[in-house]
Structures are given as C-alpha cells and as structure tokens.
C-alpha cells in the first residue's frame, strides 16, 4: 500500500475581528492618525485546525465527521490547497480534485455545454479530456435536452446534477468531497454513490465530509472524527460514528422533563414527569436510529392512589399526521393499583420502523376508568430518528418516502417463468 495523502501537524488559525473589518483603507488610516504610536490591539486568534496529522492509503475511502464548526471544511480547504495552513504540511500523490460545492464557478449566462467545459477545465481537466467525456457527462447528468440553455434557467437541482456529472468524470487520484450527496433526487444520489464506489474500486482515494451518518457508514472504510480542530478519533467507520453519536448524550439528552410544560390539561391525580428513550440495555439513547430496538420509559408522579390507570402516547409526523398509537388500553391490560408517589412504566418496541425524520409525541393518562384524562400533553416531545442503511442499500432513505417501513424481501424466482412461451405463441399467431 502506498500513501496517498499525508497530513503532518497541520494547523490553521484565523485572526478574529481582523477578517472583513478594516477592509476599508479609511478605517486603517483613521486608526493610524488617531493613535499614531499605539500598536494594534491584539486580535483574537481562532484555531480552526490544531496539529492534525493522519495518512490515507491509496484506495481508502475516509469519512470525516464532526459537528458544525469543528474544522472539517477548513481541513478540506487546506487539503485541496484553496487556503494555506498556518503551519504543518499536506502531501498528496497525483491529481487532487476537490468538490467543495457542486458547480462552483458555473457562469449564469453560459449554457450547460459551455459550463461543462469551463467547470471541467477549472477543476483540472484538459480540453481533450472534456471533449472525449462530454457524451458521458451529459448522459450522467440526464440534461441532454437543456444542454444549450443558459444555466440561469436551470433549477438548483439541475445545476447540481450538471456539477456532479462533471466532477464524476474528473478521474482524480484523490477526490475530496464536501456534503454533496444532499442534492438531487434519489435516483441521482444513487448515481453519485456509485460514482464514488467506482473510484474506490479503481484504487482511488476519497475523502468525504458528511453529516449523513448513513452515507458515511455505507461508503467509507475509515472514519476520522474532527472536534475543536483536532482529530478526536480515527478508526473503523462504525466505531468512530458510534463514539461521535455518543457525545450527543450530554446531560439530559434522551430524557425529557415535563415539569415546566405550561397549560397542561387533565384532572391531575397522576401526571407524567419525564420520558426517557432507552436502549435495549437500559441506557439513555441520545440518538434514535431507524429500525432499532427502543424502550420508552414513562415516568409519573401520582398524588393519590390510582386505580385502573391507562398509559398512552402517540407518534405523529411533524405535519401532524398520526403514525401510530401506543396504549395499555389497546392491549386490554389491567394495571395494578398505583400507590401515591413516583415510578415509571416501560414500553419496549422491538424495531422502531420509522423512517428517518422528526416526529412528535403526545402523551396522556387516564385514571379510575374515567374517559377524562388525568394528564394530557399534546406534541410535548420530539423524536428525531436518524438514518441507518435501512434496506442494506446505499440509498438515503428518509421521510420523503413515507413514515414507516417494514421488514421485507424481494423475490425474483418468477422472472422469466412464462415469457418465452407467450412470445413464441404470439409469433406463431402473427405468422398465421
């Protein structure tokens, strides 16, 4: 294995306050005139990257993850030579192509075809190469009909498709990609993923920044987690993602207090105090992943002894469409007497088959067989379901495709079982 990208003690600092301010000569002159002998006020320095080192082997696909502002984008900009590091250095073998923004440098007035040549050239392709690949690029983009239309008439989706189509044909040794899979429809996304997989199988190196953990998990063999400008963890993708996700479990995440909810309805003999999302091992689960086992722990406080209680909650989409209701009553369960004080009930869901997206929870309790709720909380709680490779495919499946999914299999044994006979009889008939 040969090293494809080597990053050694890379640091990058920005002067805060010095940026964008004083870009008028006048301001500087005024300052010098007012305080001719005083030195410049020390500017605050922000370290966007601090002593980052790693090496990437040829053929590796590395996912770079981290929160916003962690330094991922700065790292990509330094890797692609757009900006210079304050210290340290980067070495890359072969042709490096950086796709920080799909279609960067497109010109509004030029046609799709003209922009392919312009963009391709700026990204490092020779004119001959673009000539040779033009057909493939156009086909990839699916925009053949609009090729001679100025791109100011393109939708943003069309623009992205054209941009990625050019990028997919750059044929670089090292490809640096920043969050571009977020564009386009599902079919186009699949093309992009396939293009990146082709690069990988062709022994090319890919560095890929994304907030989409499913995409990172699918595409990358290795993960690098950047936090506060430094490498926090570097290793197998799955382990890095798990560790990264676990940090969202900062105090209270995964648990939801209701003490402060105002305007609660209900007679109040018993009330919910808190809901926790737990894993199957009973640990707080800050990140809920589609299709995984989950335990909803419903904490209550009873002000008196409660007979014949029913606990219930439902899940609806952000738009308010009811997805499903969970209730002890639907199960025909008779709960034991609940003494005054606090406690909890658990609802264990084997597989939370909600497609990734944001959902709302409404909760209520009935007591003493009364149809009137003792406690009722409407849309009191959010449930964010994160992406996982749902059907084991690399497609990004989220709530654009509905709200729920089911364990499923396709069978193709029936393909071709009756076709030949039908055709031959049809041919005979037409001859006769």
Q: Minimum distance from CB of 165 to other proteins (Å)? A: 16
Q: Based on CB atoms, which residue is closest to other proteins, 106 or 364? A: 106
Nearer to other proteins, 124 or 389 (CB): 124
For other proteins, the closer of residues 84 and 400 by Cβ is 84
Q: Smallest distance, Å, CB 229 to other proteins?
A: 15
Instruction: Name the residue nearer to other proteins (CB basis): 54 or 117.
Output: 117
Select from 231, 230, 204, 120 the least CA-distant residue to 166: 120
DSSP letter string, 127-196: HHHHHHHHHHHHHHHT-GGGTTSBGGGS-HHHHHHHHHHHHHTS--SEEEEES-TTSS-HHHHHHHHHHH
Nearer of residues 23 and 321 to other proteins, judged by Cβ: 23
Rounded to a whole number of angstroms, the minimum distance from the CB of residue 134 to other proteins is 14
Q: Are 46 and 14 in contact (CB under 8 A)?
A: yes
Closer Cβ to other proteins, 173 or 387, answer by number: 173
Cβ of residue 43: shortest distance to other proteins, in angstroms? 13
Dist CA 196 CA 192 (whole Å) = 6
**Which DSSP helix (H) or strand (E) runs through 244?**
helix 237-246
Minimum CB separation of residue 121 from other proteins in Å reads 4
Least Å distance, CB 69 to other proteins, is: 16
Of the pair 83, 317, the CB lying nearest other proteins is at 83
Select 113 or 271, whichever has its Cβ closest to other proteins: 113
Q: Where are the alpha helices (DSSP H) in 15-97?
A: 25-34, 72-79
DSSP 8-class letter at 41: P
Assess contact for 290 and 359: CB atoms under 8 A: no
- Contact residues for other proteins, defined by CB under 8 A: 14, 19-20, 23-26, 77, 80-84, 98, 100-101, 104-105, 107, 109-110, 114, 117-118, 121-124, 126-127, 150
CB of 152 to other proteins, least distance (A): 11
Render 359-395 in DSSP notation, one character per residue.
EEEEEEEE-TT-SSEEEEEEEEEEEEEEP--TTSSS-
Retrieve residue 217's tokens: 């998990």
- Cα torsion 213, 214, 220, 225 to 10°: value is 10
How far apart are alpha carbons 293 and 277 in whole angstroms? 10
**Rounded least distance, CB 262 to other proteins, Å:** 46
């Amino acid at each position: 294995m040969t090293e494809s990208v080597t990053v050694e003690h890379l640091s990058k600092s920005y002067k805060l306050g010095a940026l964008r301010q004083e870009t008028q000569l006048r301001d500087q002159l005024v300052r010098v005139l007012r305080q001719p002998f005083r030195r410049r006020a020390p500017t605050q320095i922000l370290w966007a990257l601090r002593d980052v080192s790693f090496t990437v082997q040829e053929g590796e696909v590395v996912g770079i993850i981290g929160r916003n502002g962690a330094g991922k984008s700065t790292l990509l900009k330094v890797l692609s030579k757009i900006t210079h590091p304050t210290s340290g250095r980067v070495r890359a073998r072969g042709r490096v192509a950086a796709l920080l923004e799909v279609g960067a440098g497109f010109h509004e007035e030029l046609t799709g075809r003209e922009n392919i040549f312009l963009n391709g050239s700026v990204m490092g392709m020779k004119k001959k190469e673009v000539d040779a690949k033009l057909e493939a690029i156009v086909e990839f983009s699916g925009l053949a009909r609009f090729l001679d239309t100025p791109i100011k008439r393109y939708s943003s989706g069309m623009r992205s498709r054209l941009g990625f189509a050019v990028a997919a044909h750059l044929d670089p040794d090292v490809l640096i990609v920043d969050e571009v899979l977020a564009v386009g429809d599902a079919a186009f996304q699949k093309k992009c993923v396939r293009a990146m997989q082709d690069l990988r199988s062709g022994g090319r190196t890919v560095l890929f920044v994304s907030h989409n953990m499913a995409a990172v998990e699918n595409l990358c063999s290795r993960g690098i987690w950047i936090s506060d400008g430094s490498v926090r963890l570097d290793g197998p993708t799955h382990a890095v993602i798990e560790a990264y996700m676990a940090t969202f479990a900062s105090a209270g995440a995964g648990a939801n207090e209701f003490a402060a909810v105002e305007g609660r309805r209900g007679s109040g003999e018993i009330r919910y105090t808190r809901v926790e999302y737990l894993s199957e091992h009973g640990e707080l689960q800050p990140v809920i992943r589609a299709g995984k086992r989950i335990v909803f722990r419903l904490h209550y406080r009873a002000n008196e002894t409660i007979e014949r209680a029913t606990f219930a909650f439902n899940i609806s989409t952000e738009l308010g469409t009811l997805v499903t209701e969970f209730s002890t009553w639907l199960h025909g369960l008779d709960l034991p007497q609940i003494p005054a004080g606090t406690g909890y009930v658990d609802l264990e869901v084997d597989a939370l088959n909600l497609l990734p997206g944001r959902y709302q929870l409404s909760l209520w309790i009935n007591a003493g067989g009364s149809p009137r709720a003792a406690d009722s909380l409407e849309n009191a709680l959010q449930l964010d379901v994160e992406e996982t490779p749902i059907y084991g495919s690399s497609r990004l499946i989220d709530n654009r495709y509905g709200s729920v999914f089911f364990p499923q299999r396709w069978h193709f044994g029936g393909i071709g079982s009756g076709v030949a006979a039908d055709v031959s009889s049809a041919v005979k008939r037409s001859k006769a």
